Structures are given as C-alpha cells and as structure tokens.
Amino acid sequence: MRIPCAYANWKMNKTLKEALEYVYKFVPALFRSVKEDTLGVAIFAPSPYIWPIRQELGDNSPVFLGGQDLYTEKDGAYTGAVSGQMLRSVGATHVLVGHSERRHVMGEDNATVAKKLKRAIADRLVPVLCVGELLRDRESGHTKDVVTEQLVTAWEGHEVTGGALLAYEPVWAIGTGKNAEPGDAQSMCKWIRSWVAERFTPETAASVRILYGGSVSPENIVHYAKLADVDGALVGGAGLDPDKFLVIAKAIAARGGG
C-alpha cells in the first residue's frame, strides 16, 4: 500500500518567527487526529529555517523537512548556492527538484534538472521530481510529449525505486487559482505511472507515489484525495496557512485510512 503524502512548499515566504509559530500549531493538531504511520508529511521551508524547525520538532518527529532546491555540484566556489550536503547537515531529508518556478522563472532546463536529481540521489536526499506542462503545451496537445521529455532526461542513468516521489504540477495551475480537473489529474498521474512501469518495472510503478500540485485547496482536495493514481498533494499557497493545510492533510490521510 502506498502511504499518501501531504507536502507543503512554503516558497519564499515567512519570517523565522512565523515559521516556528506554524509548526507549533500545525504538528500537534494534525497528529491528535491522524495516525503517524498513515500519512507522509513534509514541509519544504526556506533553507535558513530548516535547522531551527528541526530543533523544534526533534529528530524523531514524523514530519519530514525538505529543501526547495539544491545546486548541481557537491561543493565549491558557487556563491549563494545551497548543496545537498548542507541540506542534510541541517536536518533535511527531502528536496524538490525541477519545480515549475525553477524551470520557468529561474530558467532551469531539463539537463539542469537532471543534474540536480543526480546530485540529490548522491547526497542521499529523497528527491521530489516535479514535472508539468505550460498552458500552450496543453492547448496544442503536447502535454505528454513535454512530460515524457522531462521524465526521460531526469531519470537517464538512474533507477527509479519504490521510494521515489514524483509530482505532476501543470504550470498553468501553479499559484493561479486554476486547478486541473480531477479527471485530468488522474489521467496524467496514471499515465506517469504507466511510464514508470514501461521504463522500469510494474512493481516499481505500483509503489511509486505520485502527487498532484496546482492550486490545491481545502475546498478541492476531497476530489483529488479520491483518485486512484494520485497519492497526495504538493501544496503551495494553501500550505502557508496551518489551518488550511491541516484540512488538506486530514483529507489525504482519510484516503489511506488514517
């Protein structure tokens, strides 16, 4: 059984005080009503906050912490960059790779994303590989072509394992208030799973968790949580509010019997 996931990406938001207040409120409230082993929860906080949050949560907390990005190299003269080793040393276990804003705001191409995925694996971080299409790709019928190229380039030379995490996030739905219809999300996540089965093995595809990201809210999560091939959500805007993220996380946990 695939354990469903509720992952919050805070992006470039919050002060440290606000970040810690969020954790104080959200974590106890969630695990008063959700069994720890029925839901994977992660917060992708700004890098300066990972260590203070880890200190507050403790090493045995069921909540994972992740970096929002990492550099392609292990170390070196790269002013301002954050390495995978740095993330691990402050308590991160996960990292986002290829988020749509990194691709389309910061200009990262598929080759750069592939290097970052390789670096994350080498540094023993759990990568959450994000893939998705622009609106023009969808309207022209090229969604699967775009996503295929992203997947093939990223995973070249690597073995997808059952612990892998993929996130389908249509770019036109990120931070816009527009979300993919549940049927479209299910169709794409099912197709991504079939790609993993064909490229690797059916057993791997059955165990890989695929998340949906794109204007997820407390109001629409109930629809996504019911989808067979959607194993949870990568939440942006709604994940900044502990009350909203609590509703989302509970809905996802209910899918897994939590």
Q: What is the DSSP letter of 238?
A: G
Q: Chain centroid to CA 173: how far?
A: 15
Q: Are 185 and 212 in contact (CB under 8 A)?
A: yes
What number of H helices and E strands is found in the chain?
11, 8
Assess contact for 242 and 25: CB atoms under 8 A.
Answer: yes
Q: Is 177 helix (H, G, I), strand (E, B) or coil?
A: coil
Residue 228, number of CB atoms within 10 A of its CB: 9
Look up 169 and say whether it is catalytic: yes
Contacts of 184 (CB under 8 A, 6+ apart): none
Catalytic-role residue among 101, 108, 133, 169: 169
Residue 178 DSSP one-character state: -
Among 99, 101, 108, 133, the one annotated catalytic: 99
Q: Name the phi and psi angles at 136, rounded to 5.
A: -65, -30
What's the chain's length in residues? Answer: 258
| DSSP H/E element including 5 | strand 5-9
Chain centre distance of CA 138 = 22
Q: Check if 108 is active-site.
A: no
Q: Which two tokens stand for residue 231?
A: 């194993």
62 DSSP 8-state letter: S
Residues with catalytic annotation?
A: 99, 169
